[in-house]
């Protein structure tokens, strides 16, 4: 006979994965408070404010929690004993069915949703634990690849304009963990770390560029221009051009600096001069300046060369200042299109454009003859999407290009028909003789 206190259970079927062992549900917790405050909201234990006695449901969730009343709207909330025992913040679910609470108990506290029995946490490894154990086995491989990974990561961030906080994204990290779990131990956990990596890489590249410039086989020529960013800030970009030790022509960005104050030649020149000194480019290394034709650039070049090359006279400084050929061609085209006083007409056009008086703009363009009328025609076509679509359909090689050869064919057929139906103007020599 088998004693009453003992029950027979079938032997478990062997499986390839470890079977979680179960333990009886805990029956004792510290007595929860009658009232507490969380996120500035007061919660009161229902048992303390209910006059009539009440009984909890039969669900196993009540082995692990109690009912509280939320002070802001008097709704019944679920208070989890396991969260308190683990010193976690209460999630406080609104009691409207038990599915949310069951999921919470299963996912956060490993409580089986069917039996209500707590699993031993030692028998279940989370994804994070699995990644950590996998990372430990790949440590040697990762140490050899760490610097290369940093270089590739920084290059991706800089060239693709990736915000630093994106590296904290959970899904991005899961992707990298899938490729190599060892990344868990080495991937930066904060945007601040990424910023320091990028700055270190920038300073290293800057030092390498400084050394390349010092070994230049030619003088270093400079080009710079000022524009307004979308912010809008006044930004000055500075470009260097030189021949390196291998005889190749090199072009690189020395810097992009914000310009404060008036855009005078002296102000622009001081910004460029500061940047040249950072790269140790002095009077013996400086070459020519290729800039647009603004008069402020004349002043800027003079200011820079006076500082770097005090032995130069004004004629030598002017010789080092080259003008933009594209800008010169643009001025020639304006003079060709508008004739004399083109600057006066351009000022009027700009004024009418800013006022939105497009009728005056078209009238002013008509004064420039056929080119002005062609300008108005192009503007008329481009003014609406419908006109652009219609124009794209009828141009040769456009959307209706299969009909491009139709008009010559129709003309040929028409000519043949006219020739057949129209009698000749002169009688045929072989025709009958008149008596």
pLDDT of the chain, 435 residues: tens digit per residue: 434 443 443 444 444 444 444 444 445 787 888 888 888 888 888 888 776 655 666 788 888 888 888 888 888 888 898 888 887 888 888 887 777 888 888 888 888 877 778 776 544 455 555 555 555 444 444 555 777 888 888 999 999 998 888 888 888 888 888 887 777 677 777 778 888 889 999 999 999 999 999 999 999 999 999 998 888 899 999 999 999 999 999 999 999 999 998 889 999 999 999 999 999 999 899 999 999 888 899 999 999 999 999 999 989 999 999 988 888 888 888 888 777 777 787 888 888 888 888 888 888 888 888 888 888 888 888 888 888 888 888 776 666 555 555 555 555 655 665 565 555 555 555 544 444
CB half-sphere exposure, 114, CA atoms < 13 A: 1
Q: Could you give the residue range(s) of every CATH 3.30.420 domain in the chain?
A: 216-323
Say how far apart CA 374 and CA 337 lie, in whole Å: 12
> 234-243 and 220-228: which strand pairing?
antiparallel
pLDDT at residue 205, rounded to an integer: 92
Cβ neighbours of residue 408 closer than 8 Å, sequence gap 6 or more = none
Nearest alpha-carbon partner for 337 in 290, 310, 372, 292: 372
Nearest alpha-carbon partner for 338 in 366, 361, 316, 360: 366
pLDDT at residue 123, rounded to an integer: 44
pLDDT at residue 20, rounded to an integer: 42
Give CATH for domain 216-323.
3.30.420
pLDDT at residue 405, rounded to an integer: 58
Phi-psi region of 253 (alpha: psi -120 to 50; beta: other; left: phi over 0): beta
Is the C-alpha dihedral spanning 178, 183, 189, 192 positive or negative? negative
- Predicted TM-score of the model (pTM): 0.50
């Amino acid at each position: 006979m088998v004693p009453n206190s003992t029950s027979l259970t079938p032997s478990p079927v062997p499986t390839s994965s470890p079977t979680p062992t179960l333990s009886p549900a805990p029956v004792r917790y510290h007595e929860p408070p009658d009232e507490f405050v969380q996120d500035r909201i007061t919660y009161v234990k229902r048992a303390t404010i209910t006059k009539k006695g009440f009984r909890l449901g039969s669900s196993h969730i009540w082995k692990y929690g109690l009912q509280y009343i939320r002070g802001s709207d008097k709704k019944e909330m679920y208070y989890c004993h396991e969260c308190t025992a683990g010193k976690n913040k209460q999630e406080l679910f609104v009691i409207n069915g038990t599915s949310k609470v069951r999921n919470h108990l299963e996912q956060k506290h490993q409580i089986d949703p069917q039996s209500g029995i707590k699993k031993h946490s030692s028998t279940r490894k989370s994804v994070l634990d699995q990644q950590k154990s996998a990372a430990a086995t790949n440590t040697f491989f990762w140490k050899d690849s760490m610097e290369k990974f940093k270089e590739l990561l920084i290059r991706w961030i800089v060239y693709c304009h990736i915000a630093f906080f994106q590296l904290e994204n959970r899904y991005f990290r899961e992707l990298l963990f899938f490729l190599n779990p060892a990344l868990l131990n080495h991937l930066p956990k904060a945007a601040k770390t990424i910023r320091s990596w990028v700055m270190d890489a920038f300073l290293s590249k800057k030092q390498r560029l400084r050394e390349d410039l010092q070994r230049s086989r030619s003088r270093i020529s400079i080009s710079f221009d000022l524009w307004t960013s979308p912010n809008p800030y006044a930004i000055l970009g500075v470009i260097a051009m030189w021949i390196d030790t291998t005889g190749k022509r090199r072009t690189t960005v020395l810097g992009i600096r914000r310009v404060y104050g008036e855009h005078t030649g002296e102000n622009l020149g001081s910004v460029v001069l500061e940047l040249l000194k950072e790269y140790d480019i002095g009077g013996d290394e400086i070459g020519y300046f290729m800039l647009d034709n603004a008069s402020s650039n004349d002043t800027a070049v003079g200011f820079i060369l006076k500082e770097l090359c005090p032995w130069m006279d004004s004629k030598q400084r002017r010789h080092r200042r080259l003008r933009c050929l594209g800008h010169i061609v643009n001025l020639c085209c304006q003079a060709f299109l508008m004739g004399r006083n083109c600057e006066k007409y351009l000022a009027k056009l700009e004024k009418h454009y800013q006022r939105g008086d497009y009728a005056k703009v078209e009238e002013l363009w008509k004064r420039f003859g056929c080119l002005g009328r062609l300008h108005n025609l192009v503007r008329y076509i481009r003014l609406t999407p419908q006109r652009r679509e219609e124009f794209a359909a009828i141009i040769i090689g456009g959307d209706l290009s299969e009909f491009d050869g139709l008009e010559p064919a129709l003309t040929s057929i028409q000519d043949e028909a006219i020739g057949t139906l129209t009698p000749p103007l002169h009688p045929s020599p072989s025709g009958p003789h008149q008596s």
